[in-house]
Amino acid sequence: MISRKILERLIQYRRSLLALTEKETTNIYSHELAKISGASPVQVRRDLMVIGYSGSSVKGYEVASLLESLNDFLDHSEKEKVALVGVGYVGRAILYYIMGMHTNLEIVALFDIEPDKINRVIHGCHSYHVNELNKVCKENNIKIGILTVPKNAAQSVAEKMINTGINGIINYAPIELNLPPDIIIENKDMILSVEKVAWLTRHTR
C-alpha cells in the first residue's frame, strides 16, 4: 500500500502536468516538475519509481506518457461519484471548484435540511433532503461523501452517510468524527490551519 503523502504528490504531479499540456511542453525534468508541484527533485524521482515510470537522463520525462501512467495509477478513467451533504458556503465552494476543473470527480447529488436549499438545481446538481440520502446514494452506488454541515450535526450525518454504504468521508466540520476504523476520513479544518500559520509566523526566525 502506498502512503498518503506519496499519493497526494502523485495527484499533484498529474495536475501540474495537465497544466503543461496546454502550453505544449512535451518534456520535463524532475527538478522542473518538483518546482511547480511543491516537492523536491529526489521526491519526484522516488515517487515515479513507485508507479514504475522511467524517464531518460537526456530529456527527462515525457509529459504525455507520464500523464498516462499517472492516470492509470490514479484510475483517472472512471468517474468517481460523490455526494455532498451541506449546501452552505463550503459546499458550494467545493461544487464550483469541481465543476471548473479536470477531475474524475462527479458530484451526483446535494443534500441539506433547510427547505430553501432542497429540491433545487445548483450549478447543474440536484439537491435533496437528507432523509433521501440513503435512497439516492444506494441507487447511484456512491462511495464518497463530503461533509460540510455545522459542527453539531456532523457526527449524526456522518453515521447516516456510512449507513448508505459510503466509506470515504471528507469532513469540514471542526470536530473529530467517531466512526468505524475501516472508514477513510480526511479532516479539513479550515480554522486550525490559520491558527497554525499564525503561530508559525510568530515563532519563526
Partner DNA sequence: TCATGTGAAGACATTCACAGCA
Partner DNA sequence: TGCTGTGAATGTCTTCACATGA
Residues that bind a copy of itself in the complex, under the rule CB under 8 A = 1-2, 4, 7-8, 11-12, 15-16, 35-38, 74-75, 80, 82, 88-90, 92-94, 96-98, 101, 103-105, 143-144, 146, 167-170, 174, 176, 178, 182, 184, 186-188, 190-205
- Here the cell at position 192 is 486550525
Residue (of 86, 22, 37, 29) closest to 58 by Cα position: 29
By CB under 7 A, how many residues form the interface with DNA?
23
Instruction: Extract long-range pairs of 25-34: CB within 8 Å, 24+ residues apart.
Output: 25/63, 26/62, 26/63, 26/64, 27/59, 27/60, 27/61, 27/62, 27/63, 28/60, 28/61, 28/63, 28/66, 29/60, 29/61, 30/55, 30/60, 30/61, 32/60, 33/61
Is residue 12 a contact residue for DNA (CB under 7 A)? no
Q: How far is the CB of 27 from DNA (least distance, A)?
A: 9
The single residue among 19, 21, 38, 42 that binds DNA, judged by CB under 7 A, is: 42
Is residue 31 a contact residue for DNA (CB under 7 A)? yes
Is residue 63 a contact residue for DNA (CB under 7 A)? no
- Decide whether 49 or 194 has the Cβ nearer to a copy of itself: 194
Residue (of 55, 121, 53, 127) closest to 84 by Cα position: 127
Q: How far is the CB of 55 from a copy of itself (least distance, A)?
A: 21
- Decide whether 65 or 119 has the Cβ nearer to DNA: 65
Residue with cell 490559520: 194
What is the DSSP secondary structure assignment for residue 157, as one 8-state letter?
H
187 binds, among a copy of itself, DNA, none (CB under 5 to 8 A by kind): a copy of itself
Report the SS3 class of residue 179.
Answer: coil
Residues in contact with DNA by the rule CB under 7 A: 3-6, 29-31, 40-43, 45-46, 48-49, 53-58, 60-61
